[in-house]
């Protein structure tokens, strides 16, 4: 069973860049699945940030696309998120997840999730 | 941008049936998925492909689809089912993921 663990700073200054890494264990990041980031502001709902395939192909939420970069490091079996120009509105629990994507079969759903990590944007 | 619409809250007594709806224009073209989230925990998939149940999910959880609306049904609700429930799908192209706003299920 795949396990995912997020890591990174819990506090980021406004206008700075949020950087998180998700370590994948129990499976290869070069498998057939994609890898994704989802966030949840305190007391609010889930928001998809984007996803990446091990080849480097990405899809991003159009509302965040200008500020988001997701990358993969196959040698370390991990993937990462960078979100630039952050504001207090980016304060959230950030989850990494394993996502099943098969467009021809209309499959696009989250399989395994990390425990989540709270990132606060504050000076 | 594409949106999925859920009721903010649903309340039922133990043993009754809870129904949570999710509406979106692209639902006839894309499968819907349902996640259960309890406080302080990551979401858990309870229904996939509109009506399929993952292994380990109790039989009281079921899903259905009709046109632009999908429904999560929990039969014989138990206290442990109190949680937030999110529907999730993709836009009509299948490229972008979208979540509904979430429904808080309260077991009275």
Range of lowest pLDDT (A19-23, A26-30, A35-39) = A26-30
Question: Is B34 near chain A, with CB under 8 Å?
Answer: no
**3-state secondary structure string, chain A?**
CCEEEEECCCEECCCCCEEEEEEEECCCCCCCCEEEEEEECCCCCCEEEEEECCCCCEEECCCCHHHEEEEEEHHHCEEEEEECCCCHHHCEEEEEEEEEEEHHHCEEEEEEECCCEEEEECC
* Nearest-neighbour CA in chain B from A13: distance (Å): 25
CA distance A45 to chain B (A): 6
CA distance B15 to chain A (A): 27
Query: What are the pLDDT digits (tens) for A70-111?
Result: 999 999 999 999 999 999 999 999 999 999 988 888 889 999
Percent of chain A with pLDDT over 70: 100
**Which of A48, A115, A116 has the CB atom closest to B99's CB atom?**
A48
Q: What residues pair up with A79 in beta bridges, in sequence order?
A: A22, A72
Whether residue B10 is predicted with pLDDT greater than 90 in this model: the reply is yes
Look at residue B91 in the predicted model and tell me its pLDDT: 92
Q: pLDDT grade, residue A3 (50/70/90)?
A: very high
> What's the pLDDT at B84?
98
What per-residue confidence (pLDDT) applies to A31? 86
Spatial distance between the Cα atoms of B85 and B87, rounded to a whole number of angstroms: 7
Hey, is the C-beta of B13 within 8 angstroms of any chain A C-beta? no
Average pLDDT value for chain A: 96
- List the single best residue of B7, B46, B94 to mutate versus A (max A Cβ within 10 A): B94
- Nearest Cα to Cα of residue A39 among A105, A103, A108, A91: A91
Give residue-wise pLDDT tens across range B26-36.
999 999 999 99
Query: Both tokens of residue B29?
Result: 């073209």
Q: Give the span between the Cα atoms of A64 and B11, in whole angstroms.
A: 34
Structural contact between residues B27 and B65, judged by C-beta atoms closer than 8 angstroms? yes
**Subunit contact B33:A106, Cβ cutoff 8 A:** no
Which pLDDT tens digit goes with each residue over B40-90? 999 999 999 999 999 999 999 999 999 999 999 999 999 999 999 999 999
């Amino acid at each position: 069973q795949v396990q995912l663990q997020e890591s990174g700073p819990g506090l980021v200054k406004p206008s700075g860049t949020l950087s998180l890494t998700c370590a994948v264990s129990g499976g290869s990041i070069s498998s057939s699945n994609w890898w994704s980031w989802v966030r949840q502001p305190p007391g609010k709902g889930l928001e998809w940030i984007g996803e990446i395939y091990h080849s480097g192909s990405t899809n991003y939420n159009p509302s965040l696309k200008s500020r988001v970069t997701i990358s993969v490091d196959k040698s370390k079996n991990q993937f990462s998120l960078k979100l630039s120009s952050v504001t207090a509105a980016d304060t959230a629990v950030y989850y990494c997840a394993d996502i099943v994507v098969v467009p021809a079969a209309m499959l696009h759903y989250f399989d395994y999730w990390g425990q989540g990590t709270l990132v606060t944007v504050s000076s | 941008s594409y949106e999925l619409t859920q009721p903010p809250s649903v309340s039922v007594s133990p043993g009754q049936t809870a129904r949570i709806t999710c509406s979106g224009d692209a639902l006839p073209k894309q499968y819907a998925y349902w996640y259960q989230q309890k406080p302080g925990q990551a979401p858990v998939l309870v229904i996939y492909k509109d009506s399929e149940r993952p292994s380990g999910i109790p039989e009281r959880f079921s899903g259905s689809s009709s046109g632009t609306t999908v429904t999560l049904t929990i039969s014989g609700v138990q206290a442990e089912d109190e949680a937030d429930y999110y529907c999730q799908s993709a836009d009509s192209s299948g490229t972008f993921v979208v979540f509904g706003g979430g429904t808080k299920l309260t077991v009275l």
